[in-house]
């Protein structure tokens, strides 16, 4: 019995069955994750939310940069997932 080409399975050392994600599914999923991150940073920029991590204030320029970088990664991930 052969495995269909669209689904790959592999065994780990403990013989647990794992699903190996296809490349187009992976790129669409990662593109969607980056899109959500970009939207949160965009909301921070538009709403003027302050962000702190362990008492350190995150500068607003960080969110401007994050919108550009994560937006680029989201667009490319979603675009490559369609091919």
Is residue 4 over pLDDT 70?
Answer: no
pTM of the model: 0.72
pLDDT tens string 23-57: 888 899 999 999 999 999 999 999 999 999 999 99
Answer left, alpha or beta for residue 19, where phi above 0 means left and psi between -120 and 50 means alpha.
Answer: beta
Confidence class for position 6, pLDDT limits 50, 70, 90:
low
Cα distance between residue 60 and residue 80, in whole Å: 30
């Amino acid at each position: 019995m052969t495995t269909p080409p669209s689904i790959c399975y592999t065994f780990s050392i403990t013989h647990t069955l794992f699903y190996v994600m296809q490349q187009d599914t992976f790129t669409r999923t990662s593109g969607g994750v980056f899109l959500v991150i970009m939207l949160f940073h965009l909301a921070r920029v538009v709403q003027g939310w302050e962000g702190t991590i362990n008492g350190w204030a995150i500068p607003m320029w960080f969110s401007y940069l994050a919108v550009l970088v994560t937006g680029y990664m989201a667009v490319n991930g979603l675009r490559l997932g369609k091919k």
